[in-house]
Amino acid sequence: MAVIGNSSTQQAFTPTIDYFSGNGSTTAFTLSRPVASVAQVQVTIDNVAQNPSSAYTVSSNTITFTSAPLSGTNNIYVYYTSPITDVIAPGQGTVGATALDVYGSSGTGAENLPSGTTAQRPSSPVAGANRFNSTLGFAEYYTGSQWATYGSISASSVSYLVVAGGGGSAGGNAIYPDGGGGGGGGLLAGTLGVTPGTSYTVTIGGGGTGVSSGSAYGQGGSGSNSVFSSVTSTGGGGGAVRSNTLNNGLSGGSGGGAAIDAGGASSGSGGTATSGQGFAGGTAYAGGPYYGAGGGGGASAVGSNGSGSGGGAGGAGTASSISGSSVTYAGGGGGSGRSGATIASGGAGGGGAGGSNGVGTAGTVNTGGGAGGGTAGSNISGVNGGSGIVIVSYASTFKDATATGTYAKTASGGNTIYTFTGSGTITF
């Protein structure tokens, strides 16, 4: 077995005896050799053996008696029974790879670090302390302010893009068929400080549901929120339907487009947007007789108002290059138009086109795009908004994160990128 330190050596031992003369008052005498324990000497006074547990003590080269020995010439003698035990410290630079190799004598195996869970980390470590973290599955060392892996440190801040689900569009029956476009999902981008070893929740918001056709009618469903840690983006507002009571677009990250009232005399209001996340939906054309519905708002522009027989276009989304290439997200859905009218386009960023005498186009999945509104005809259904997305990016010089859920890990421009299309967690 390998030995850390100096090589073992034989120590020669020559028995010897120290003689001292008592005077009735002196209790301490100087030995010729250092002694580590009373068990290493035998002591006699006036030919009477002394009890080592009570008659005397030793400390290095000094023996001290409990009571002063009586006067006499060389009446005290100390017989050494064994050499002092030396503790040999390894010399600087003398412990090499061979000595540290616990798996053989070649020096090419490995040494064992202390191993324990995150909870078992030392409470007051000093800089340079190192161990294997069995919870995280990597070796780590203490920098003086945090635990880090060899070769890289956990990211302390990351860039993010959080896009919520887009709003669904309205549908109805032959009496009330005109629908506004769904609003794009709320969009938030920025940087966030993170704590190494902490697991952060990622939630991907679903797109709002389009209202079913048939005898039922109503506003499209709003999208669901997306979440990364403390950052929450709001689902896009659903589009309105032609009605005296349901012709307002719903509010959300971006607002849903409005429709006219049942009599065609006035437009409802476009849904309002969440501050910093998107824009409002457009209003419907109320000048008759065709009543184009408003487009849903997008992350960077309001939804357009309906004009004559044509629905309003969806508001444009916002482009982001966090994934390594420019992609646009959270466009609003186009409003519905009458038969023969120009189809209202969805906003750039996954917004669906409005229907023209038919069903609108659904928002694109994982863009937060709003749904296009359905238009005139019998039993036209609304369609769903697009689901959201969460993207997290940090410099590739940092340690890889670990993640759960539905995600893709890529690298671009010196960054490591986690793109979540389904809910999960991420730990840095």
- The structural domains of the chain, with segments of one domain joined by +, span 17-80, 97-149, 156-428
Give the pLDDT band (50/70/90) at residue 172.
Answer: low
Q: What is the CA radius of gyration of the chain?
A: 41
Q: Taking the C-alpha atoms of 350, 353, 358 and 364 in order, what is their torsion angle to the nearest 10 degrees?
A: -10
Q: Tokens representing 182? A: 């769904």
Residue whose entry in the numeric block shows the structure tokens 């709320």: 186
Give the start-end residues of each E strand in 178-234: 187-193, 199-203, 226-228, 231-233
pLDDT at 382: 87
Cα 302–chain centre separation:
34
- Residue 223: name the closest of 209, 212, 239, 207 by CA: 207
Q: What are phi and psi of 97, to 5 degrees?
A: -60, -35
Residues in contact with 33: Cβ distance below 8 Å, sequence separation at least 6, in sequence order: 16, 61, 80, 83, 84
- Residue 367: name the closest of 300, 421, 312 by CA: 421
- Residue 203: name the closest of 387, 353, 38 by CA: 387
User: What span, in angstroms and rounded, lies between the C-alpha atoms of 343 and 118?
Assistant: 58
> What does the pLDDT look like over 237-292, one tens digit per residue?
999 998 888 999 999 999 999 999 888 889 999 999 999 999 999 999 988 777 88
Q: What are phi and psi of 407, to 5 degrees?
A: -155, 165
Beta bridge partners of 17: 79
> What does the pLDDT look like over 47-92, one tens digit per residue?
999 998 899 999 888 999 999 999 999 999 999 887 655 545 677 7
> What does the pLDDT look like over 95-121, one tens digit per residue?
777 877 878 777 788 888 899 998 999
Q: Is the CB of residue 110 less than 8 Å from the CB of residue 103? A: yes
Helix (H) or strand (E) holding 373: none
- Residue 147: name the closest of 136, 162, 163 by CA: 136
- Residue 67: name the closest of 83, 82, 50 by CA: 50
Portion of the chain with pLDDT greater than 90, in percent: 61
In terms of Cβ atoms closer than 10 Å to its own Cβ (0-12, 13-18, 19+), residue 11 is exposed
Residues in contact with 377: Cβ distance below 8 Å, sequence separation at least 6, in sequence order: 174, 177, 357, 358
Residues in contact with 149: Cβ distance below 8 Å, sequence separation at least 6, in sequence order: 138, 139, 140, 141, 399
Mode of pairing for the β-strands spanning 389-395 and 157-163: antiparallel
Average pLDDT (297-309) is 96
Q: Is the CB of residue 366 less than 8 Å from the CB of residue 349? A: no
In terms of Cβ atoms closer than 10 Å to its own Cβ (0-12, 13-18, 19+), residue 288 is exposed
Portion of the chain with pLDDT greater than 70, in percent: 90
User: What span, in angstroms and rounded, lies between the C-alpha atoms of 218 and 98?
Assistant: 78
Work out the number of other CB atoms within 10 angstroms of the CB of residue 332: 57
pLDDT at 204: 98
Q: Is the per-residue pLDDT at 358 higher than 80? A: no
User: What span, in angstroms and rounded, lies between the C-alpha atoms of 78 and 21?
Assistant: 12
User: What span, in angstroms and rounded, lies between the C-alpha atoms of 269 and 290?
Assistant: 18
